[in-house]
Structures are given as structure tokens and as C-alpha cells.
Amino acid sequence: MGGNRPLSEENDTVSRLSPVAKRNIAGAAVGIGLLLVVLGINASVTGRDAQNLPPQIQSINPVRSAAQVQMQEKIQVDLIDGYTGVLVVDNIELPVVSLDALPAARPGQQVDLPLSVIFEPGNNTLSFQPTKGALIEKYNTGVNTVVVRYWKIVDGPAAARSFTWQFDVI
């Protein structure tokens, strides 16, 4: 049986280890496990880094390559201070209205938002939600493409850059 030892001999070898040696082996195993967890966390890419966003864009929604997006999900782009832009969804450039350009609501009434992209100057966000009567009432099933053209407000649209991403509608 060339080299095969009975199971009882192997158990004898383990039982011959001192309690200190057993604790050292268990401690080393736990230490190696913790080291692997820390290395895995440090190597992971999540959030903003995973989206590969330009420095002028803080976040996008839906996220890049999102699956199972609803047909009327809100698109939102959060820009850094001092930037604005426009959204192009599936090759349709949507009109943009700034919240500060809307007439003030009377006390007790709500402001009627236009069926377009809303720019919130205080938050530097562009947002659009498909709605009946808007240029896009719902997204097409399958892959949809969004381009945000953004620029520093003081420089104007002539200095625009763009960022493109896609999401999948169910």
C-alpha cells in the first residue's frame, strides 16, 4: 500500500501536537484569512471609480450598464459646482429649464414643472423623467444611450465636453 498510512496514524499525528502548536496553527489560518479579506477590499472598485466618471460629474442615475431599469426611471446627472449642461437620450436632445427661471409659486400652490430636463442651480443637477407629453414618454425596451454635454457656466456651451453611458430597460 506504498505510503498510505491508516487513518488512525494520521489522527495520532494531529493529536501529538501540543495545545500551543494547535493555537498557533489556528491563529495563522485566521490571520491569513483576514489578510485575504483586506486585500480583496483594497482591490475592489466600487461607486464613482467603477463608473469611470469625469471629475466634473459626481454621479449619474441610472448607473452605467444598469440592467432592469424601468421604462419611466428618472435620469439624473450631478455636476460639480459651476457646471451645467444638456441631456441627449437616444439621439434626442431634450430642452433644459432652470428652476430659477420658473415663476414663483403662490402660497399653498405647487410649481408646475415643464416636461423637459430640469436644471437645479443650487444642486447643479440635471434631471429628466419620461412623462406623457414629453419628447420621451418612456424609454425603449433594451439598451438606451444617454449623452450629457456639460460645461462651466462661465465658459458657455462652446466649451462643452461630453460623457456617454448606457442602461438596459426591461
Mean residue pLDDT across the chain: 86
pLDDT of amino acid 110: 82
Q: What is the pLDDT of residues 20-56, one digit of tens each?
A: 888 888 888 888 888 777 766 665 545 555 568 999 9
| pLDDT beyond 50 at 148 | yes
Query: What's the CA gap between 138 and 130, in Å, rounded?
Result: 5
| pLDDT beyond 70 at 2 | no
- pTM of the prediction? 0.69
pLDDT of amino acid 88: 97
Sequence-distant (6+) residues with CB within 8 A of 99 are 118, 119, 120, 121, 122
Task: State the SS3 of the chain.
Answer: CCCCCCHHHHHHHHHCCCHHHHHHHHHHHHHHHHHHHHHHHHHCCCHHHHHCCCCCEEEEECCCCEEEECCCCCEEEEECCCEEEEEEECCEECCEEEHHHCCCCCCCCCCCCCCCEEEECCCCEEEECCCCCCCCCCCCCEEEEEEEEEEECCCCHHHCEEEEEEEEEC
| pLDDT beyond 80 at 13 | no
Q: What is the pLDDT of residues 96-135, one digit of tens each?
A: 999 988 888 788 888 788 899 999 999 999 999 999 999 9
pLDDT of amino acid 43: 57
Q: Work out the percent of the chain whose per-residue pLDDT is above 70.
A: 84
pLDDT of amino acid 42: 62
pLDDT band at 149 (very low <50, low <70, confident <90, very high): very high
Burial bucket for residue 88 (CB in 10 Å: 0-12, 13-18, 19+)? middle
Side by side, the strands of the sheet bearing 161-169 are 66-69, 161-169, 142-152, 83-89, 92-93
